[in-house]
Amino acid sequence: MGKRKNRKFEWEVQPCFKIGLHSRDKELYKIKSFIGEIGNVVLYGTMVYYKVYSLYDNINIIIPHFEKFPLIT
């Protein structure tokens, strides 16, 4: 969510799927490859994040994946 200037509505909501790991872990590139090369892997300091902002990709790829293979925590 972020502020937008010169728009009818000042705020914007944007869906995002995000995983974060320490930068020494290279697994996020494998996850991106496994999911189908959607989204971006971004480095911020000592953290690495895999982010998917596309509503289409979140609805049609990310959500069905976790419905089929739920996380075991």
CA distances from 27 to 8, 33, 36, 45 (A): 41, 10, 14, 17
Residues comprising the chain, all counted? 73
pLDDT, tens digit, 9 for 90 and up, residues 7-58: 777 777 888 999 999 988 778 888 888 888 999 999 899 999 999 999 999 9
Domains of the chain: residue spans and CATH: 15-68 (3.10.28.10)
Whole-prediction pTM value?
0.74
Rounded CA separation 23/43 (Å): 7
Query: Is residue 1 predicted with pLDDT exceeding 60?
Result: no
